[in-house]
Structure 1
Amino acid sequence: MGFSPGQNAHRYGTNATYIYEYSRGLAGVDILQDILFSRIIYSSIIIVALVVFCGRVAQISHAHLRRINSLGASRKQQTFWSVESSPLWANLKKHVLYAPLGRKRHNREIQLSSAVNMGTVPSRFQATLVVLYVASQIAYCSYLDYAINEKAALFAELRGRSGMLAVLNMVPLFVLAGRNNPLIPLLHISFDTYNLLHRWLGRIVVLESVVHTAAWAVNACDEQDFAHMLERIRTTPFFIWGLLGATAMVLLSLHSPSPVRHAFYETFLHVHQLAAFAAFLGVYMHLHTDQLPQLSWITALAVIWGLERTARFARLLYLNVSLRNGATKAVVEALPGEACRVTFHLPKRVHVEPGSHVYVYLPSISLWMSHPFSVAWAEPSGIAAPTTDHSHPRSPSTLEKQPVLDLDPYLTPSPRSQITLLITARQGMTRTLYNRALHSAGGTLHTTGCLEGPYPSSMPTNHASYGTAILFSAGAGITHHMLTVRHLLHLTATERSSTRQIVLVWSVRSSDHLCWVQSFMDQILRLPSRRDVLVIKLFISKPRSSRDIVSPSSTVQMFPGRCRPGVVLDEVLQSRVGASLVSVCGPGAFADEVRGAARGWIGHGAVVDFVEEAFTW
């Protein structure tokens, strides 16, 4: 240790000398107990990760076996995979993994008013993990040697325990916040779930830091008085750095509640990153000054953080810059219904998995900031997508009668790619982008931009292993499923998929919104074997007239009113083929309805897996 408990003790009286030994350094700290608890915590985290990993391996293996056995199977021959064989697994999915905390609400936001958003409610499984971990932290902090007769020694032990736990939890806190979190592809758990755990770990770290500071302050005040404690903070580097770290953490907790985060997200993001760096710097220097045992943890954290940021920058540079083809260009088209179609022409070829998302940088709109969006479409840059006249959009009937599309351009490698996103105008960057495009010549804005990614979906099993895929979308959520449909149709046409039935459900407010994906839908409806596999159900909740609701055929159907997921599932799953996948991407209330309807079928004989794509920041 670089500090002796008796150092400078002569400056104080007898009582101060006695207490001073417990206000700095490791005197009174139960080091062996702290080491034991730190090992228990990390061992428990590793065990949970291993259990999840083994479960994912079993899921992936089962899905792969199902796909291999069903490739050449008819609808009737896939009956084996459509019937539940494990009531235990079905109950676990229904009542734990897919279950909301209460009856229905999960991703439906709790809004006290149009301006006050309280966030979402964790699922039952997420809540269980959070409660158990919070309870364990309380237990570790409370497990002290109460038999000791010295108050100062007891507070010193609490100071050491809470400080150790705060630094220990900072490591997973920073790891789970990273976009390149290695646990996402390893455990196939969504970034959204890790983000929830990140927020709760942050709250734990803040509380433990406050307890650590308060426990020190009690002994520091007992030495002489409160004024002298403040004097030590002002004049001692060890305490100055500690105060910086604690203050930054309190600031993080004050500006991170959901109402503030949602109302001023871009401001929140900048303040959050600056405060996080200040907290890290303060804690690092606090530990480094006295060479405390936890210094190695915070050093490892610095390495992890640096590697993650380096990986992001390298990924950004590699994807968007080419010596031969220049840099990425972006074309923004204003669409009816206050939405934009943003197409990025990349200088390099990139493979985009269905369900992937990217982070968008548009310097002319949002400077250096990035925002996440699902990839609506991706194709070789040499393929010209059909032009869309927004003033005279083609009807579903016209799209239904398109000739079959040649697959060769999609299967032939291309040196360049283009990625298209659909962005609805809300607040902040999305509203600015829409307004800028709307007031540009022809409603089209040409600008420079960059993409970071693509980051693939965390779905643990392959879509092609399911005989039936039911894909629910609402509003701009259709972007998550467009590539999935195209991918499944490609695999079906080349006899590499078990899928025999795809039902794409899209709910929108107005028929004007159909033009958002008209060019993409045009290509999907022209793919081989589409009429044998794909059924599209369009729900227009507020049609302008009954003439807008015309079903072109039995495979492209239009309905007035809101989508009722339970009715759709009852219709489709009665005639399901093989195992069934229910996927949803859309507003929280709509996703909760789909979740409830899917859970209603689990445990009653049907094999139903549920997947939800969400960004709950």
Structure 2
Amino acid sequence: MKTDGMVDYSTGHDGLNTPRDVLFVQLIYSSMLGLAGLVLLARLAQIGHAYLRYIVCSGATEKQQSVWSITESSLWIRIKSRLLYAPLFGKRHNREIQLSSAMNMGTLPSRFHSLLIFGYILSQIVYCCDLDYQNETPAIIAELRGRSGTLATLNIVPLVLFATRNNPLIPLLRISFDSYNLFHRWLGRIAAVESIIHMAAWAVNTVREANTSALAQHLSETPSYAWGMVATAVMGFFILHSLSPVRHAFYETFLCIHQAGAFLIVLGIYLHLDMHSLPQKPWIQWVIIIWSAERSTRLIWLVFLNVSRRNGMTKLRVEALPGEACRLTFFLPRQYPVPPGSHFFAYIPQISWWMSHPFSAAWTESSITTRPKSIQSLTDTKSLTLESQSSPYNHTAVTLVVAARQGMTRALYTRAMSSPDEAFTTTGFLEGPYSSHAVNMASYGTAILFSGGVGITHHLLFIRDLLLRAAADRAATRSITLVWAVRSMDSVRWVMEYIQEILQMPHAETILTIMLFVSKPRSPGEMRSAGGVIRTFAGRCNPATVLEEIIPRRIGATVVSVCGPGALGDDVREAARRQVDRGVALDFVEEAFTW
């Protein structure tokens, strides 16, 4: 029991350095806003440069585009090669670190991302250690309690924002959700450690001023401390729960636990702050607003895209494909444009309840057909265009190709294989389209697109769009090379009908080249190249060799894009950096789902 005039370093404001806390809060948000401002300026410069190139080169000859093919600035070359495109060290970046066939330790951040993460961690350590060491020990511990609690609460705001799919910073700064998710994971670890420090500092002073029984008494009799303990315990659990081996081995279970735990954390912190009337309470209110607004946006968009008063709900057809994959065709009840490079989150209640999974849009078609009388009319394998005998039906068909791995994707494939004609229909929903808006593909004279396996789905719509633009003289594109690495020819059948449609487009024969690498062909005869646009090769793809062949005959500026396994992405990144070092005007883009 404390009496008037006694110093209380465990439960009161004694020992706290509020002005210093406020200063550090201002420094953190100022640095975040400053960094975002610099990135925005850089993006605006990049967009302006790309637009100028697009305008100048759309009607230019190959020779006139040559001025855009070389980078003159040695400084910019070094920045791109040694910082922006560089892995942390060596060439490993998105190739997963495997301790065993069953244990995946995740990936390494890039050099630039690592510098940002390291700098932020270092700043948090400095802020926590900047205490008044001339005070007595309990006062120093009390100041640490206040500082760590303030920083932990502050970090919850960007932590939640960076985890949202509709993060407004994604289109504004053109930074991918994958990058924000990386920062989300590290902010979570930082906030968890600071929460543990906050709780430990409180416990040390409580025991010092009374005894261990007082600690238990506070937690059992004082709701604010109990809720603070709940939030800290869950955050501590998340440090282990969110490690890559656990996250990837049981991803769907991980998401359920993670979302429930996040709710407990926000609730616990809010009640802890509210019962003590602490000034950090508005920060958690902003967290609740951000989370509620984002979830509401997703729900509204989900209903808008998948439900129509006239045409009903989205229909889904699932087909098993050779090579353990599925083709998912979602027939949306309305017409909606899908930009190239988009991905959707697919909801299939019969398979995965309320869970959603991200997949690139392989193909889209918008048309006016006739509405099917029932979903059973979709089971006709000879007709996937919803043609039946009823009233006009506006729809967009979005096709996803999904490799069967674990969880939902494996369940889909198993269900399709056990169905008549190896296909079935059900109700499904799409959320999206989402995109990182990385670059304007149409502003480059040369596009080199590397795909690994099912990663082909990311590039097909880009190729179709570039060919359409080129035919209308609305693109600088004069050369497109699709480099596709697959294990067997079974994978080619996943999207062959779309490739055939692309090959029939204007200028496809003069602009497009497809290099198909099959690492495990069944027979030599299978590898006979038909000549023309498609060239087939037996063996693994060597991106460095491919670029060495294409770059000398490039037209204008070059974009190199990759979507596929991490090992392929790292090889392409290394080969692209080598060309950048030689002064080639080359931009590198990687579509990754490392979360």
TM-score strictly above 0.5? yes
Distance 1:202 1:450 in 2: 30
Aligned runs of 1:39-188 on 2, under 5 Å? 39-148=26-135, 150-188=136-174
Q: 1:522 to 1:61 in 2, by over 3 A?
A: same
2:386 paired residue number: none
Are the aligned partners of 2:77 and 2:583 in contact in 1 as well (CA < 8 Å)? no
Distance 2:530 2:282 in 1: 66
2:18 paired residue number: 31
Question: Which string of whole-angstrom CA distances, capped at 9 and with x for unpartnered residues, describes residues 368-410 of structure 1?
Answer: 10000011011114489xxxxxx9xxxxxxxxxxxxxxxxxxx
Q: Which amino acid aligns with 1:428?
A: G
Give the 3-state SS of the residue equivalent to 1:602 in structure 2. Answer: helix
1:455 paired residue number: 434
Aligned runs of 1:438-587 on 2, under 5 Å? 438-459=417-438, 461-587=439-565
Give the 3-state SS of the residue equivalent to 1:324 in structure 2. Answer: coil
Question: Which string of whole-angstrom CA distances, capped at 9 and with x for unpartnered residues, describes residues 45-95 of structure 1?
Answer: 000000000000000000000010001111111000001122211111100
Give the 3-state SS of the residue equivalent to 1:309 in structure 2. Answer: helix
Distance 2:294 2:267 in 1: 17
Are the aligned partners of 1:358 and 1:372 in contact in 2 as well (CA < 8 Å)? yes
Q: Which amino acid aligns with 1:477?
A: G
Q: Which amino acid aligns with 1:546?
A: P
Question: Which string of whole-angstrom CA distances, capped at 9 and with x for unpartnered residues, describes residues 259-284 of structure 1?
Answer: 11111111111111111110100000
Question: Which string of whole-angstrom CA distances, capped at 9 and with x for unpartnered residues, describes residues 146-178 of structure 1?
Answer: 011x22111110000000000000000000000
Q: Structure 1 residue 426 and structure 2 residue 405: aligned?
A: yes
2:2 paired residue number: 9
Question: Which string of whole-angstrom CA distances, capped at 9 and with x for unpartnered residues, describes residues 422-465 of structure 1?
Answer: 00000111000000011111011101000000112331x20000
Q: 1:357 Cα deviation (Å)?
A: 0.4
Distance 1:96 1:586 in 2: 23
Give the 3-state SS of the residue equivalent to 2:581 in structure 1. Answer: coil
After the TM superposition, which of the residue ranges 80-89 and 134-143 deviates more from structure 2? 80-89
Distance 1:201 1:365 in 2: 33
Q: 1:254 Cα deviation (Å)?
A: 2.2
Q: 1:614 to 1:85 in 2, by over 3 A?
A: same
Match among 393, 396, 400 for residue 417 of structure 1? 396
Are the aligned partners of 2:361 and 2:400 in contact in 1 as well (CA < 8 Å)? yes
2:309 paired residue number: 323
Match among 216, 219, 225 for residue 233 of structure 1? 219
After the TM superposition, which of the residue ranges 81-90 and 495-504 deviates more from structure 2? 81-90
Are the aligned partners of 2:316 and 2:425 in contact in 1 as well (CA < 8 Å)? yes
Q: 1:228 Cα deviation (Å)?
A: 1.7
Q: Which amino acid aligns with 1:170?
A: I
Are the aligned partners of 1:375 and 1:421 in contact in 2 as well (CA < 8 Å)? yes
Distance 1:570 1:592 in 2: 17
Distance 1:598 1:245 in 2: 45
Question: Which string of whole-angstrom CA distances, capped at 9 and with x for unpartnered residues, describes residues 132-152 of structure 1?
Answer: 00000000000000011x221
Q: 1:350 Cα deviation (Å)?
A: 1.2
2:341 paired residue number: 355
Q: 1:351 Cα deviation (Å)?
A: 1.0
Distance 2:367 2:574 in 1: 41
Question: Which string of whole-angstrom CA distances, capped at 9 and with x for unpartnered residues, describes residues 486-510 of structure 1?
Answer: 0000000111000000000101011
Q: 1:120 Cα deviation (Å)?
A: 0.2
Question: Which string of whole-angstrom CA distances, capped at 9 and with x for unpartnered residues, describes residues 169-217 of structure 1?
Answer: 0000000000000110000001111000000000000000000000000
Q: 1:300 Cα deviation (Å)?
A: 1.1
Distance 1:442 1:457 in 2: 37
Are the aligned partners of 2:176 and 2:435 in contact in 1 as well (CA < 8 Å)? no
1:339 paired residue number: 325
Question: Which string of whole-angstrom CA distances, capped at 9 and with x for unpartnered residues, describes residues 17-70 of structure 1?
Answer: 845x11113221100000000000000000000000000000000000001000
Report runs of 4+ in structure 1 exceeding 3 Å deviation. Answer: 381-384
2:375 paired residue number: none
Distance 1:249 1:454 in 2: 32
Q: Which amino acid aligns with 1:550?
A: R
Match among 558, 562, 566 for residue 588 of structure 1? 566
2:378 paired residue number: none
1:285 paired residue number: 271
Q: TM-score, normalised by structure 2?
A: 0.95
1:262 paired residue number: 248
Unmatched 5+ residue regions in structure 2?
Answer: 371-380, 382-392
1:313 paired residue number: 299
Distance 2:12 2:293 in 1: 32
Distance 1:381 1:128 in 2: 48
Q: Which amino acid aligns with 1:168?
A: L
2:257 paired residue number: 271
Are the aligned partners of 1:353 and 1:457 in contact in 2 as well (CA < 8 Å)? no
Distance 1:305 1:137 in 2: 25
Distance 1:238 1:287 in 2: 8
After the TM superposition, which of the residue ranges 169-178 and 26-35 deviates more from structure 2? 26-35
Distance 1:118 1:372 in 2: 21
Match among 175, 189, 198 for residue 189 of structure 1? 175
Q: Which amino acid aligns with 1:63?
A: A
Q: CA RMSD in A?
A: 1.5
Are the aligned partners of 1:107 and 1:592 in contact in 2 as well (CA < 8 Å)? yes
Are the aligned partners of 1:252 and 1:276 in contact in 2 as well (CA < 8 Å)? no
Aligned runs of 1:593-608 on 2, under 5 Å? 593-608=571-586
Q: Which amino acid aligns with 2:335?
A: R
Are the aligned partners of 2:346 and 2:428 in contact in 1 as well (CA < 8 Å)? yes
Q: Which amino acid aligns with 2:76?
A: W
Distance 1:139 1:616 in 2: 30
Are the aligned partners of 1:49 and 1:187 in contact in 2 as well (CA < 8 Å)? yes
Give the 3-state SS of the residue equivalent to 1:495 in structure 2. Answer: coil
